[in-house]
Chains A and B, each alone.
Chain A
Amino acid sequence: MFTEYIFHFLSILSLFSAVMVLASKKPIHSVLFLTLAFFAIAGHYVLLNAQFLAVVHVIVYAGAIMVLFLFTVMLLNLNKDEQSQKPMWVKIMAVIAGGMLMLTLIGILRKYDIQSVQDPMTTQIGLVKNLGKILYNDYFVPFELSSVLFLTAMVGAVLLGKKEQI
């Protein structure tokens, strides 16, 4: 029962902050609400006993990506209200389309049931020891390739961000 209450609290918190990301006019408020949503999702990972993922999620999203967003908002001096918005009928149509997508997804997935092999609260696969063994044994090549991807992304970001001669 207790975990269910925590689940509902975290779900409502993350959905609320996700809606507020879209509803707030200033980009910096959107960034801060997005941080709140990320922390709520990190709580979900803890609830699934995926501790490695929870820590990596907080480090990567709340640590790195949020700092990037905040730096961009502050560097570009965007902290003012959006001057131009999409017309109202576009917004209404978009919300209707998104609602249709949501209904379709829920309608498809509603009946889905899975026989839980083990209680997710007590499973041990999300711990650092098990995931590290699997990551370095079975998924070693993708792990190394992701470092190449990071290097490429870093070089690309520096190249794009340079002031001279693009």
Chain B
Amino acid sequence: MQPKSDPSSRGVLTPAKRLVLIIEDDFLTRYTAAEALREMGYLVIEAQDAAEAMSVFTSGTHVDFVFSDINMPGSLNGLEFARWLARQHPAVPILLTSGEPQPAEALGLGKKRHFMAKPYDLDEVDGWLRQMLLVV
């Protein structure tokens, strides 16, 4: 299931002020996704790896949603970061993405974790955000 947002309902749905943390090591991919989500009305923080994302959380910044690549350089990949997030901030949902096939660990992750393959459509990201955050 890959939810799509209904453009005709954008005036009703209110993503504004929801803070999304994007974790992506590829600069252009990160910037493109972040800018598209900002245009949709989300507040976006950009992190290039899991260490930066953990730094954002430990600074006390309130994050509503994490959108993370799985394959990243650094001490933790996206799946390992998702495990850290589940322990430290279990209420925060995470959408994982990768250009590789869906890893077994990302299957059946429940309401707080989902997987979406690359290349992704940014409206599809918006759809997952709305579903996982119940932004209505």
Asked if chains A and B come from one complex, the reply is: no
